[in-house]
C-alpha cells in the first residue's frame, strides 16, 4: 500500500479504527483555559504511527497481501461488516503498540492510587472490631515513615491507623482524580518487558476494547446467518489474528477460541508494569 499522508487535520479515512483505539490508549490531553479542566482531543499516537508506517519501521513481519489472502480472517471480517483496509491499520497499530509495551517497554512504577488502595485494604483485612471507643485489629499492626538520614517514625496506635485507612477508603474517587495520582513514573533508560503471554492478552484486550467502543459495539454486533458455517465470534477472530501475526505459533489459536479464553481468565485483572517506548 502507498505511504500515508502526514496530515493530522484531514486524517486518512483508513485510519478511522486505528485512531479510535489510539485515542483510548494514547490520548492527547489539553486543558480548557476557561475552566482549567483537562479533556481528550484526539490521540498523540498518530504522528508516531504514520511515520513508522511510512518508514517501514512497524513491528511485525506480515504483509497486506498475507492479510487479504487469509480466507478465514477475511470471511469473518466480511460477515461482521468490517472495513478491510481500516481494520488492517488497526491491526498494525495494535500489534506495534503491544510490542512497544511488552517487548521493548520502559520500566514504570505504578501510579500513587495503587499504593494507597493496597495500604487501606491491608488495614481493612486485619480489622477485628469497631465500636464507640475506636478500632481493634486481629494482629498487631504498625505504619512507618522512613526519611533517608533521619529517624523512622512509627505509628502503632490502632485508632490512628484505622482512621488513616478510613479517610483513604471514603475518598478514593476524589483521590484518584487528583492530578498527582495520574502520573506514572517512567525510567526511559531502563528496559523492561513482559512475558509473551501478557502480550497476547494485551493484544486481545485492545481489540476487545475496540469492539466495545461506540458505534462499533452495535455496528459489528452481527448474528450468524442460519445455515452459515462462518463464525462471527469476535473472540475467535482475535484468536486467529494472534496466530496470523505469529504472536503465538500454537495452531490451536487458529482452530478455536478456547486457548485464548484461558489467557483472558488468567490475566483478567492484570496491570502491566511497563510503559510503551513508542507511543507516549
State residue 134's pLDDT score: 85
Least confident of 20-34, 178-192, 213-227, 240-254: 178-192
For the chain, the domains span 13-109+184-275, 112-181
pLDDT at 194: 66
Cell of 238: 482475535
Residues 1-6 have a mean pLDDT of: 89
Residue 185 pLDDT exceeds 60: no
Which of 13-17, 93-97, 170-174 shows the lowest per-residue confidence on average (mean pLDDT)? 170-174
What is the pLDDT confidence band of residue 67, given thresholds at 50, 70 and 90?
Answer: very high
What is the reported pTM? 0.73
Q: Of the candidates 12, 56, 27, 14, which has an alpha carbon nearest to the alpha carbon of residue 279?
A: 27
Burial 204-217 (b: 16+ CB within 10 A, else e): bbbbeebbeeeebe
Across 238-250, average pLDDT: 97
Per DSSP bridges, beta strands 153-155 and 143-145 are antiparallel
* pLDDT band for position 99 (cuts 50, 70, 90): very high
CB neighbour list of residue 272: distance below 8 Å, 6 or more residues apart: 101, 102, 194, 198, 202
Q: 156-165, 172-181, 238-247 — which one is most confidently predicted on average?
A: 238-247
CA separation for the pair 125, 273 (Å, rounded) = 25
**Whether residue 188 has pLDDT greater than 90:** no
217 within 8 A of 21, measured Cβ to Cβ: no
Percent of the chain with pLDDT over 70: 90
Average pLDDT, the chain: 87
The per-residue b/e assignment along 43-53, b for 16 or more CB within 10 angstroms, e otherwise, is: bebbebbbebb
**The pLDDT of residue 154 is above 60:** yes
Amino acid at each position: 500500500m502507498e505511504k500515508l499522508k502526514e496530515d493530522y487535520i484531514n486524517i486518512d479515512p483508513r485510519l478511522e479504527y486505528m485512531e479510535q483505539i489510539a485515542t483510548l490508549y494514547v490520548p492527547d490531553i489539553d486543558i480548557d483555559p476557561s475552566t482549567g479542566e483537562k479533556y481528550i482531543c484526539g490521540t498523540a499516537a498518530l504522528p508516531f504511527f504514520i511515520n513508522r508506517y511510512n518508514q517501514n519501521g512497524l513491528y511485525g513481519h506480515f504483509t497486506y497481501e498475507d492479510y487479504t489472502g487469509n480466507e478465514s480472517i477475511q470471511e469473518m471480517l466480511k460477515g461482521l461488516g468490517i472495513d478491510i483496509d481500516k481494520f488492517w491499520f488497526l491491526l498494525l497499530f495494535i500489534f506495534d503498540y503491544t510490542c512497544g509495551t511488552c517487548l521493548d517497554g520502559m520500566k514504570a512504577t505504578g501510579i500513587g492510587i495503587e499504593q494507597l488502595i493496597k495500604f487501606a485494604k491491608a488495614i481493612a483485612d486485619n480489622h477485628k472490631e469497631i465500636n464507640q471507643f475506636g478500632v481493634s485489629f486481629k494482629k498487631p499492626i504498625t505504619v512507618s515513615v522512613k526519611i533517608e538520614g533521619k529517624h523512622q517514625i512509627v505509628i502503632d496506635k490502632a485508632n490512628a491507623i484505622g482512621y488513616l485507612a478510613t479517610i483513604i477508603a471514603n475518598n478514593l474517587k476524589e483521590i484518584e482524580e487528583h492530578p498527582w495520582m495520574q502520573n506514572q513514573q517512567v525510567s526511559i533508560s531502563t528496559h523492561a518487558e513482559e512475558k509473551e503471554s501478557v502480550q497476547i492478552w494485551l493484544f486481545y484486550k485492545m481489540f476487545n476494547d475496540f469492539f466495545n467502543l461506540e458505534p462499533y459495539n452495535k455496528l459489528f454486533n452481527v448474528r450468524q446467518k442460519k445455515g452459515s458455517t462462518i463464525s462471527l465470534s469476535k473472540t475467535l477472530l482475535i484468536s486467529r489474528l494472534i496466530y496470523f501475526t505469529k504472536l503465538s505459533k500454537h495452531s490451536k489459536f487458529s482452530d478455536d477460541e478456547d486457548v485464548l479464553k484461558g489467557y483472558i481468565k488468567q490475566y483478567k485483572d492484570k496491570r502491566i508494569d511497563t510503559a510503551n517506548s513508542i507511543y507516549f
